[in-house]
Amino acid sequence: MRILSKLVAGAAVLATVTMISAGPALADPPKGVVPKDTDIVGVGADTTEFLLDQLSVNYNASHTTKKLYSFDATNPLTGAIGDNITTKTACAKIARPDGSSAGITTLDSNIKVGSNYCVDYARSARARKSTDPPQGAGGILFVRLATDAVTYARVKGSNAPANLTSTELTAIYTCTDTTWNQVGGTSTATISPQLPESGSGIASSFLTDIGVTTPGSCVSQPSTLQQNEGVNKIFTGPNRDNVIIPFSTGKWIAQGYHSAACFNVQCVPSHAEICDAGSGGTNAFGCDVNGTLSLGDINSTSPTVGSGKSTTVNASFAPDFILPLYDVVRYSTTTADHIPSYLEPYFASATATVKGYVCATAQQAVIKDYGFLPAGPLCGLGS
């Protein structure tokens, strides 16, 4: 996400996801820290970037060796897309991977220095594609982390109906129906269907869910439109009342109910932090960048249940739109769960012989605070 995220950093982590203030730091490895070659480093999806930032901070607070790090999808200070990052001390700079597919591609490049990989895992907000490396020797494994739901978002009070069927969404994104009155709305205005950047797991999952392989010519996919970012100028411009875009329900919940408000209207990075993340009980990572977007229902079912800080992803949402979230790792032929043995302490199931940290009971509260549903017994299972 092209947003500065301020971490109020400290030496101790509380039981919740906030931290004791000791001065500003950022998402990504802390300022001045380049991960060691033996540390564990991930890249990829925007959807879970702040969750992995927090899990990394929590893990590193109680472990002194082989620390866990996560690079955000975009530069958290400048908002730059594809800037150069150094993932580990001995590794050459690479362009920052932006999105699930970019993260998986970077992982699969298998760049090593000595016996250590330069990237150990990729965050993914989509399931395996037929074009991905196989689930087998020399391939990759999608390891379950949490559960989300993907739906569509619209500007509050716009021409877009509050409910659309999956069939209507298919018609919109194939450009079969191009005006709102063709899909249950009252306006004859032309629909403006949008997709976030091409590497977006949310975009990929949404298109799969509505059965669209190739979007129609009326669909826009600007390279500068990051997923789950409701403050982009496209949502405040003259055509805002006709825009529709896929959105992560969990990210919307976290941003709206667990994140600090932005200091400026469009949450644009500047010389000062754009939000006081970590203060007042808010998440330590991320700002509220929902803007004026609200989530739409699909097939007459809401993607959320509850209200205020008790809002969660609706586990009974339209089944096709329930979205598993993953950490993707290299496939191992020498372990029972096929997670590389050096990564099992981080990503394996909480019931495995080597118990995984992110699946532990203590971290399930963190997953909820970042908007998602814990995967329960599915956490740490590979596919």
Q: Domain check: are 13 and 135 in the same one?
A: yes
Q: Please indicate, yes or no, whether residues 117 and 17 belong to a single structural domain of this protein.
A: yes
Residue 49 and residue 141 share a domain: yes
Angstrom distance (rounded) from CA 309 to CA 323: 21
Asked if 194 and 227 sit in the same domain, the reply is: yes
Domain presence at residue 383:
no
* pLDDT for residue 272: 61
Reported as type and span, the H/E element at residue 228 is: none
253 belongs to a structural domain: yes
Which residues make Cβ contacts (< 8 Å) with residue 192, sequence separation at least 6?
A: 220, 239, 242, 243, 244
How do the pLDDT tens digits run along the chain, 383 residues long?
Answer: 434 443 333 323 333 333 333 333 358 998 889 999 999 999 999 999 999 999 999 999 999 999 999 999 999 888 889 999 999 999 999 999 999 999 999 999 999 999 999 999 999 999 999 999 999 999 999 999 999 999 999 999 999 999 999 999 999 999 999 999 999 999 999 999 999 998 899 999 999 999 999 999 999 999 889 999 999 999 999 999 999 999 999 999 999 999 999 998 888 776 666 888 998 899 999 999 999 999 999 999 999 999 999 999 999 999 999 999 999 999 999 999 999 999 999 999 999 999 999 999 999 999 999 999 999 999 999 99
Residue 61's nearest CA partner among 110, 111, 20 is 20
Is there a domain that residue 1 lies in? no
Q: Report the number of distinct structural domains present in the chain.
A: 2
Got the DSSP string for 26-68?
A: ESSSPTT----TTSEEEEE-STTHHHHHHHHHHHHHS-SSS-E
Same domain, 266 and 193: yes
Inside any domain, residue 23: yes
3-state helix, strand and coil shares in percent for the chain, rounded to the nearest 5: 20, 20, 55
Q: What is the mean pLDDT of the chain?
A: 91
> Among candidates 266, 257, 270, 313, which has minimal Cα distance to 289?
266
> Do the beta carbons of residue 40 and residue 120 sit within 8 Å?
yes
Residues 166 and 135 in one domain: no
The domain containing residue 122 runs over which residues?
6-147+324-378
Residues 64-118: tens digit of each pLDDT: 999 999 999 999 888 889 999 999 999 999 999 999 999 999 999 999 999 999 9
Task: For residues 221 and 215, give the distance between their C-alpha atoms in angstroms, rounded to a whole number.
Answer: 10
